[in-house]
Amino acid sequence: MALGAGTVLGTASAANAADDGFGLRIVQRGEGDPRMWYYRFQTAEIGWQPAVNVLLPDDYHVSGRTYPVLYLFHGGGTDQDFITFDRAPNDIRAWTAGKPIIVVMPDGGHAGWYSNPVSSTVGPRNWESFHINQLIPWIDANFRTYAEFDGRAVSGFSMGGFGALKYAAKYWGHFASVSSHSGPASLRGPAGGLQGGVVHWANASSAAVELGGGTVYGVPWDQRRVSMDNPCERVESYRNKRIFMVAGTSPEPTFWDRFNETAVLETQREFRGFLGRAGIPHDWHEVPGGHKVRADLFVRDLDGIIDRLRKA
């Protein structure tokens, strides 16, 4: 059962319960499940109350150990949120069973693009500030984590895969491993290709379902923001990190699947070209199928993450 669907499932003992802090006020919590704990916050960075699922290792409550952390980001769309990876066909509990890592799965907006937007008509939607300045230090303060570079990984699907790549470069010292599962890897696009297609899609989707007509990158684009967020312009920031990418080569015969995975495949290939020319090692997979999370590759990635990070 996914937590956080509008009910409080219980509270932990006072000694273990999480506290407010870093601009986050807890307005709802579920600490009754032995592994999946849930929190909803009031924060000035977001104009509504975003939530997070925190998936704990099986032995968290008895081991006394400190654990590495994976920040795992959902994709875009009105059906995507902090419960995405705990909702069929995904099965984050089974994928992580017996593995010594904490997995943090926050809201990122239906089309937030893991960014502080240029404009919004519906109040603040500063997802980047929420995740980086508030959520990460809050997690480190309330759970037994390694609050350091070698203690954190970031990964995501689709829009969340882009967010993972963006954060890993922009906040160089935060994450030792970055993964993108069917996530776009270039904002501007290669010559002869999409040519800014991902920026156009970020602006259009955020205007439609996130920002009430506002946009992530502005019209005309704020070119400095685009460059700061573009993996292909931040290549040196990936040096000495573990990098894992997945793209599908045969999308389903629907407009959205072809639209999404065609962009993913083209932009990941462009990014891989930059990494290769810079001599930066990376693990990549082009596999049949379209725009989805592949359980086998997710588990393979997770094992690589655990191998790279500081051990529990």
| Catalytic residue (one of 58, 257, 282, 285) | 257
Instruction: Look up 291 and say whether it is catalytic.
Output: yes
Which of 274, 66, 101, 71 has the alpha carbon at shortest distance from 175?
Answer: 71
The structure tokens listed for 92 are: 């984050």
| Catalytic residue (one of 158, 179, 180, 206) | 158
- 3-state SS, residue 131: helix
- 3-state SS, residue 132: helix
The structure tokens listed for 308 are: 């790279």
| Catalytic residue (one of 179, 182, 291, 301) | 291
Q: Is there a contact between 95 and 174 (Cβ–Cβ < 8 Å)? A: no
Instruction: Look up 181 and say whether it is catalytic.
Output: no
Looking at residue 98, the DSSP 8-state letter turns out to be T
- Cα 5 from chain centre: 20
CA distances from 211 to 115, 119, 203, 304 (A): 12, 7, 10, 36
Instruction: Look up 257 and say whether it is catalytic.
Output: yes
The structure tokens listed for 1 are: 């059962």
What phi and psi, each to the nearest 5 degrees, are found at residue 232? -70, -15
Cα–Cα distance measured from residue 22 to residue 61, given in angstroms and rounded to the nearest whole number: 24
Stated as kind and residue range, the H or E segment containing 103 is strand 102-106
Catalytic residue numbers? 158, 257, 291
